[in-house]
Structure 1
């Protein structure tokens, strides 16, 4: 596995009220953080380190490295419904929108197509770890697991369990459900992939009776699995659970043997103390709580009670698939509670970042850059040209640390996936969309991304394995060979090599004078990529016009090869 040294700005949460912000270096070997230090220590570290096997990545002043984001609660099958039905209360929303969609995942082809998009989208958003709810269907949820493995995301994946009848007919009988959950656990464990774990997933007490919950608890204990579910999310839900579980002391009592409970809003003090005593972790999902009008979660009270809290997008009850949005919503909800008289309820942006990283990973092997932790990280370019954050000449920053903190604040409040230029899981870089979302941090990387994107756009090469190899190794020589192999016309070859040479690549063809052409000397944004694509498109049209003219001309002629669109 690769050995990396990152030199530049980095941030690493230490605790809820302590965030390390520094300019320095982080050393990663075989996916593990083995060393880190300040800028002042860098020269000595480099002098005493054998750098022959290392790749050194030097960040720009406006870039920073931070831990990967953790989505503690997301419904993978619900992505096609994102943004729909959010004017309905929870139980009505489930019956009208959610259950009919989730039933479709018995079609494995449909499941594979959707889950491929879901995992890539979350990685693109910087979500290196996700805790997924799948669907009721066993094989459909195994497709989700396969996509997680394909793209090397870190994940907990759960097959949803339900045995109480509903109008949509979306449930299993108890014995079948327990058997399928056990099969699912065994299938995931058979993958022998340390980035993915099965998680037992009773949907909630409205859809699972005591008999099924007991069977699931036994399975969780047998296979040492965690459990995830929902609790006290909606007042109507709470009342219904009381009706069908009259012997329970409260909602939490129904789940007393569970280890993880997701999405709670209306917890009593007694329930909060019970969850803390059982070591339960909580996923706070402010977007869905608000969108479905479930309530405002008293986050500060949960933290003060000693509960471990992370953040969740809860798609599609939540309307955004990025944890950055969950941080912002959590700050908003807690601030609203403080405005309403709950003194000290508001959380800060630093606390929000902690919840999105180390909070969601507490007692796990990720979440910050401490020595010995696995390296899950995102590289952020705050002022990336195609991104949403503008850079101004005025600044109130006085020190290097203040400048780094200002970068982080801007990203937390304003940033999105366009600012996330590299994603790492256990030390390995991930390319969610292979061609269009790769690194822009080196001239070779930019050139490779550009040429691969154009070749892919015009169907010159469509072999995914080849694309991955070229792109991940940034091997421009292979691109040059491929161009020759497909006998790209002189005009289009000139356009491609002009771009690559101008970017500092080594893909120079017969038109090396492009180096001084003054065109596209660097690729700074998606807009530049589109410009080059337009140039290639124009070349294609011109080729076709030439070819048509040749075809209509008298006498024999040799037609130049054309690009297929």
Structure 2
């Protein structure tokens, strides 16, 4: 799959390292036919003017207007794709009711591939419009519908890692929605992995498969053992929920006598390509193990407020240099926007660090450590997520995929207001992180392909 090469001229923001904002003012970005960044030139470079003039004469120069800025595409590490129709619904009920009355019956409907196609097309379109260029998806137990999600991402141009969900334990899963048994769960996962790999056989495919046990309580030992063997055989991504709630933590420890993370490791499911959703109740030993294996955590601050009853120890994880990114957790989270996710992460971090009980002395209210900054929040949504997935995207580097957003601060209905308060570029970036919305995302590129926005732009 190739795209038309083009050159972009404008000011870009990215956070190539945690906590460090880099402003690339009036830079030239050359995008090759593979959709990768071939060259980045700063003003004053000996070839800057020549490259700019050549692209302008060839009609392949994209020039950002005043008030427009380039950002890396956003990376969502935890989405339940089939739950898209119920986003924003039933968050006022306990988790058990939410699952049994709403979520499992909805997910069971994806036995109908036509229904899956309708929902997934709408989901991917909307996530791209919200700036999500890379998504890690839980699908359902159905192989055909899960494959439909992967095909939809490939067709519409979203980078994605997609998993067919495994949940085979009859004691924990409803009879109308589960794998028939461990053997079929594992064989169906193998079939799904092979089918997704066949969709896009390039060295750097846009869509990849993931092994996806829903979480330990929903899976039998035989299924977990079989999935661990597949993880070793294929070396593909693994995703699951980990230590999300008091109940889940206690269930696993009662069943195995050890934590979620240690149990997953014992089954061969904790690898460099594993993403653990939530992980609110991991302890110091878990952190050591996750860091040692090189696995990552999908921090889902909004849904944690609803269903986890605890905040993920984000600062502690970052200080250990664990791989961490952000997840919207649709539909446990009610917003599809990772800009919102950045803001929820900032709020959760500040709440955890400062505490909320006004009846306690200040020194006793919160957890130790400093709240995260807006630069760190944006890193989580971009480069941090890319590092967790081990993908060459999330920042502007030569050889990386050109996954990018054109942010227009002067868009109609924009909540970003610049130029009236002598804003520096660094302050404009902060305003974007804290105020950007779908209305500000004028154009989206994935691997150099324009998937949202103006038709006159190359790509």
- Do the structures match in fold with TM over 0.5? yes
Give per-residue Cα distances to partners, 1:388-421, cap 9 Å, x unaligned.
3345x63133xxxx2x223222221111111000
Give per-residue Cα distances to partners, 1:21-68, cap 9 Å, x unaligned.
121221111211111132333x74232675355611111121100110
* Aligned-partner Cα distance in 2 for 1:406–1:239: 45
Give the structure 2 partner of residue 501 of structure 1. Answer: none
The equivalent position to 2:213 in structure 1, one of 166, 187, 202, is: 202
Give the structure 2 partner of residue 456 of structure 1. Answer: none
Give the structure 2 partner of residue 306 of structure 1. Answer: 321
Tell whether 2:455 aligns with 1:430. no
> Cα distance, 1:89 vs. partner?
3.5
Give the structure 1 partner of residue 361 of structure 2. Answer: none
* Aligned-partner Cα distance in 1 for 2:94–2:251: 14
Give the structure 2 partner of residue 228 of structure 1. Answer: 239
* Aligned-partner Cα distance in 2 for 1:159–1:226: 12
Give the structure 2 partner of residue 168 of structure 1. Answer: 174
The equivalent position to 1:36 in structure 2, one of 37, 40, 61, is: 40
| 1:136-535 correspondence to structure 2 within 5 Å | 136-165=141-170, 166=172, 168-169=174-175, 170-172=177-179, 173-193=181-201, 194-243=205-254, 245-246=255-256, 248-256=257-265, 257-258=268-269, 259=271, 260=274, 261-340=276-355, 341-362=366-387, 363-390=390-417, 394-397=420-423, 402=424, 404-431=425-452, 438-439=453-454, 445=456
* Aligned-partner Cα distance in 1 for 2:338–2:240: 19
Contact 1:75 1:314 in 2 (8 A): yes
Give the structure 2 partner of residue 14 of structure 1. Answer: 16
> Cα distance, 1:364 vs. partner?
2.1
Change (3 A) 1:279 1:48: closer
Give per-residue Cα distances to partners, 1:485-516, cap 9 Å, x unaligned.
xxxxxxxxxxxxxxxxxxxxxxxxxxxxxxxx
Tell whether 2:111 aligns with 1:86. no
Change (3 A) 1:271 1:89: farther
Tell whether 2:60 aligns with 1:55. yes
Question: Which secondary structure state, in structure 2, belongs to the residue aligned with residue 229 of structure 1?
Answer: strand
> Cα distance, 1:111 vs. partner?
0.6
Question: Which secondary structure state, in structure 2, belongs to the residue aligned with residue 21 of structure 1?
Answer: strand
Question: Which secondary structure state, in structure 1, belongs to the residue aligned with residue 44 of structure 2?
Answer: helix
Contact 2:76 2:328 in 1 (8 A): yes
Contact 2:280 2:308 in 1 (8 A): no
* Aligned-partner Cα distance in 2 for 1:328–1:89: 25
Q: Unaligned regions of 5+ residues in structure 1, if any?
A: 432-437, 446-471, 475-565
Residues paired across the two proteins, number: 429
* Aligned-partner Cα distance in 1 for 2:251–2:324: 26
Change (3 A) 1:40 1:473: closer
> Cα distance, 1:140 vs. partner?
1.1
Contact 1:200 1:227 in 2 (8 A): yes
* Aligned-partner Cα distance in 2 for 1:204–1:92: 18
Change (3 A) 1:473 1:21: closer
Question: Which secondary structure state, in structure 2, belongs to the residue aligned with residue 39 of structure 1?
Answer: coil
Give per-residue Cα distances to partners, 1:80-135, cap 9 Å, x unaligned.
11112212333442222211110000011111100000000110001000000001
TM-score for both structures, normalised by structure 1: 0.73
Give the structure 2 partner of residue 123 of structure 1. Answer: 128
Question: Which secondary structure state, in structure 2, belongs to the residue aligned with residue 357 of structure 1?
Answer: helix
Contact 1:331 1:352 in 2 (8 A): yes
Contact 1:9 1:64 in 2 (8 A): yes
TM-score for both structures, normalised by structure 2: 0.89
Contact 1:366 1:374 in 2 (8 A): yes
> Cα distance, 1:473 vs. partner?
7.9
> Cα distance, 1:287 vs. partner?
0.7
Question: Which secondary structure state, in structure 1, belongs to the residue aligned with residue 10 of structure 2?
Answer: strand
Contact 1:104 1:110 in 2 (8 A): yes
Tell whether 2:48 aligns with 1:45. yes
Q: Unaligned regions of 5+ residues in structure 2, if any?
A: 356-365
Contact 1:366 1:373 in 2 (8 A): yes
Structure of higher RCO (CA pairs closer than 8 Å, 6+ residues apart): 2
Question: Which secondary structure state, in structure 2, belongs to the residue aligned with residue 20 of structure 1?
Answer: strand
Give per-residue Cα distances to partners, 1:242-271, cap 9 Å, x unaligned.
23x23x322212100222122210111111
Contact 2:409 2:440 in 1 (8 A): yes
Change (3 A) 1:237 1:11: same
CA RMSD in angstroms comes to 1.9
Contact 1:100 1:168 in 2 (8 A): no
